[in-house]
Structure 1
């Protein structure tokens, strides 16, 4: 080889094996090089015994999948480009035309939007149930029901459901199915619990999904999701749908999540403590009607959280006095200095956002006052409390 360009592309040097470091290596690939034709034809990626193409995994993505499976207490993990893509992956892996999906009325909004948009167009029906009432779920499971989404706690309003009771309802329904009928599968959005607050699979769910964008990353700088299972058959269904959709994650994004995992438990604990302190303090503030947080007495599902969970995440919501209209609640949010306006949570910076809950739910929202969800970051509690104080003073002026 005499040409420089060829020499640089086909350079014979290979770094010696045996290098080890704290951070896993970052491998980026679309094309994977095979040593011979036999390997090209026979190498397998499904069981992680080999590599065939970048979409089907690299050493970096395999490492993250194994670590997320361990975090969740599962056996198999598949990575997706975002939390929402992980939700839609579960739906597409298990649902067929003519079947039905049941979703909590208080579930993550885009989960419901995917059902009303794409799934409905594909001939898959959906209905909403009250996650705080297992009997409502039991009443709505029918012969065509195939998938039941669970979420703990509910999105925005943070009601904590009785997950074991909801799973028991599904299992009882499966026991009464006609012979040969497809069983109902339970899938949990475990982004809030994150594998730390409780063990998803000990509740009996079949599938646990997370937005790795949140706690596993922790930096507010990456989008990723995961789908974890214990059952080999269910995993294979997810994996094959994942392959056919061409879903993949980049090596750089995988690196960011791997970097966040070692500090994840510490961050969760710190943000949990700060959130409880602020939520408790907010309960006594003028103009506040109710504070919603599973660890607070009086918050919906508190007793169930106390029984089943050992931690809480960084979220709490505040329902303001009904004398404050939406314009004044928006002005309260605008007056905050440390709490920034933005979506997502579990990053280093505190966030807030106002919501019109009544427009998001089928069931009537019992409160007339406006609601603001807070996501507590890693700032000092005293500074965050001071920021809330000055904003509340303006609101109440």
Structure 2
């Protein structure tokens, strides 16, 4: 089946008189009809914290989308990344983490892993196969994110996976949503998504997914989730599964909207650079064409001016772009960012203001007109004193 068909059919009941969608099954206690059933192996469910039939429906859909042998659901995208790292990182080992990683992941590595005896080394996201030189006998995990948060560098995942050998490789796949990007097919051990974003699609739920390429990796992740007391609400799980039914339609429109906005912004005199992998101007555009089948609606721009007064006036004048964290819903967003504050490898040297945009589903004419009037207002802001 193609993705479009999988998204419409998997995780649905298919026998007897039934509703088209699976039911929301809530519960903590599972009761058994007999002692032998209680003691039996291969019980499909035995305690609500480990999931109900509602959870199984979403796991089935994500497994099919990502091409995985197993999927663990977590309470958020951040918890999914951190749990995957914890499954392999032990005191005395080291993890290699892309320098372009999501900043809360960096905080987890620096403030939780490092004090507990796990060495964390950040690497240039453009390192590719050169990561082989960083791998030692202590390396327990390589964590990738492609494209990178805020700055949108693409990683050469097949080259990294080949260099990694037996070292597990995890990838934050939220931007590609499992539809435009297939890390497990490119050699990664684990593909992670913040289902809060495109899988849910409506900015009204938190959830994370950890998809494992092998049964061994799936067992390792599941065991870690058990030990950490991981649990997810069946109502949240149902909401994400419902959102997935239209993922391919929404992503196609987000791609059109995002590229249209990115091209429009490339022509603005106020903009120094647009950071969108789908544009020919992006340094890793050829890599995007090789490994991705599309682009989502998230990208950044670097403004020529970097003073806060200019940024403040621009953002406060916007009408159709909300100011807020997260992304992946139907609404457009504009978020100021300062990537230099969370980088350590020198690959990002830009000191000017970065704005991260999420292209929503509004009319493109309204979105560009809104940007035009916001730029006009910001351009009236006097230059800061030397």
TM-score w.r.t. structure 1 length? 0.89
1:313 maps to which residue? 296
1:34 maps to which residue? 32
RMSD over aligned CA atoms reads 1.4
CA drift of 1:43 comes to: 5.2
2:213, 2:156 → 1: CA distance? 21
What residue ranges of structure 2 are gaps of 5+ in the alignment? 1-14, 381-386
The answer as to whether partners of 1:132 and 1:159 remain within 8 angstroms in 2 is: yes
1:328 maps to which residue? 310
Residue 268 of structure 1 pairs with residue 251 of structure 2:
yes
Q: 1:221 aligns with which of 188, 199, 204?
A: 204
The answer as to whether partners of 2:123 and 2:345 remain within 8 angstroms in 1 is: no
1:300 maps to which residue? 283
Q: 2:56 aligns with which of 53, 62, 65?
A: 62
2:161, 2:309 → 1: CA distance? 41
Residue 230 of structure 1 pairs with residue 213 of structure 2:
yes
Worse-superposed segment, 342-351 or 324-333: 324-333
The answer as to whether partners of 2:336 and 2:353 remain within 8 angstroms in 1 is: yes
CA drift of 1:288 comes to: 0.7
Q: 2:67 aligns with which of 59, 70, 73?
A: 73
Worse-superposed segment, 345-354 or 330-339: 330-339
- Ranges of 4+ aligned residues in structure 1 off by more than 6 Å: none
1:132 maps to which residue? 126
Residue 86 of structure 1 pairs with residue 80 of structure 2:
yes
CA drift of 1:370 comes to: 0.5
1:43, 1:140 → 2: CA distance? 43
Residue 107 of structure 1 pairs with residue 107 of structure 2:
no
1:25 maps to which residue? 23
Residue 339 of structure 1 pairs with residue 333 of structure 2:
no
2:164, 2:308 → 1: CA distance? 40
1:76, 1:234 → 2: CA distance? 8
Q: 1:148 aligns with which of 142, 147, 162?
A: 142
The answer as to whether partners of 2:340 and 2:351 remain within 8 angstroms in 1 is: no
Residue 363 of structure 1 pairs with residue 345 of structure 2:
yes
Number of residue-to-residue matches in the alignment: 365
SS at match of 2:73: strand
1:385 maps to which residue? 368
CA drift of 1:76 comes to: 0.7
SS at match of 1:281: helix
2:273 maps to which residue? 290
What residue ranges of structure 1 are gaps of 5+ in the alignment? 1-16, 172-182
Rate the CA distance shift 1:372–1:342 in 2: closer, same or farther, 3 A.
same
TM-score w.r.t. structure 2 length? 0.92
Residue 281 of structure 1 pairs with residue 275 of structure 2:
no
- After the TM superposition, which residues 149-188 of structure 1 pair with which residues of structure 2 at under 5 Å, given as runs? 149-171=143-165, 183-188=166-171
Please identify the structure whose Cα radius of gyration is greater.
1
CA drift of 1:136 comes to: 4.7
1:247, 1:285 → 2: CA distance? 47
1:18, 1:303 → 2: CA distance? 49
Per-residue CA deviations over 1:104-136 (Å, capped at 9, x if unaligned) read: 101111111111111112211100001112255
